[in-house]
């Protein structure tokens, strides 16, 4: 069952079909409600989506696709994905973008390659700034937002550079929260990572690069 995160943001339980990924839902009547990655299509999740409707489906990385064909067919929703991963949606005619893509006056997609070639984050201006990070930034076992070097990581240095670019893009006033796309159990009951900008820009990216060289 989905649970509220903010007034118009909801989170779904982790989905085994997307490697335990967490999908989100944003109420946005200006462009149609936004589904961020694919939740499991359980009865309760399906009831929630039927009740609200879906206008746009955003895929933040190639492992977040799930049952996209079924969802797109049910709601006739538009699909948006970074151009390098559009091949994962054959015959679905997704909208693609390169660097950034505005969904509405308050929502924007940002290309953050590293975890996968077309990894992206969705930024929402609500609540002082919310960043839906997919698998680009995940909580570690202490609940801190981190770029995690995983077996599926496409390019570690690009991922670190993407983190640095987010620090350049935002400010403490424009980025208050992170909604990660996995590892949400490490938040220990919290629904978001707060104080997001300060935590993100406190990361020692040079140290992470040095560790990578040592491996």
The CATH number of the domain where 176 resides is what?
Answer: 3.60.15.10
The residue-averaged pLDDT of 132-142 equals 96
Domain that holds residue 66: 3-214
Q: What phi and psi, each to the nearest 5 degrees, are found at residue 138? A: -130, 155
What rounded mean pLDDT belongs to the chain?
93
For residue 131, the model assigns a pLDDT of 98
Domain count, the chain: 1
Asked if residue 52 lies in contact with residue 75, where contact means CB atoms within 8 angstroms, the answer is no
For residue 136, the model assigns a pLDDT of 97
Confidence of residue 205 (pLDDT cuts 50, 70, 90): confident
Alpha helices (H) in 7-139, listed in sequence order = 43-52, 68-75
């Amino acid at each position: 069952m989905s649970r509220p995160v903010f007034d118009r943001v909801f989170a779904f339980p982790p989905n085994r079909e997307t490697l335990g990924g967490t999908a989100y839902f944003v109420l946005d009547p200006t462009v149609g409600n936004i589904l961020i990655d694919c939740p499991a299509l359980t009865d309760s999740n399906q009831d929630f989506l039927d009740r609200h409707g879906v206008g746009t489906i955003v895929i933040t990385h190639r492992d977040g696709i799930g049952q996209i064909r079924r969802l797109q067919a049910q709601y006739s929703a538009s699909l948006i994905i970074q151009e390098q991963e559009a091949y994962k949606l054959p015959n679905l005619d997704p909208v693609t973008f390169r660097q950034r893509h505005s969904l509405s006056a308050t929502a924007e997609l940002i290309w953050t390659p590293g975890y996968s070639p077309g990894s992206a984050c969705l930024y929402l201006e609500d609540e002082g700034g919310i960043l839906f990070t997919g698998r680009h930034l995940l909580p570690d076992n202490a609940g801190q937002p981190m770029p995690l070097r995983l077996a599926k990581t496409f390019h570690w240095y690009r991922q670190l550079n993407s983190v640095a670019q987010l620090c350049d893009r935002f400010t403490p006033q424009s980025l208050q929260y992170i909604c990660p796309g996995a590892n949400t159990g490490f938040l220990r009951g919290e629904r978001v990572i707060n104080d997001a900008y300060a935590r993100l820009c406190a990361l020692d990216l040079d140290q992470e690069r040095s560790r990578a060289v040592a491996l």
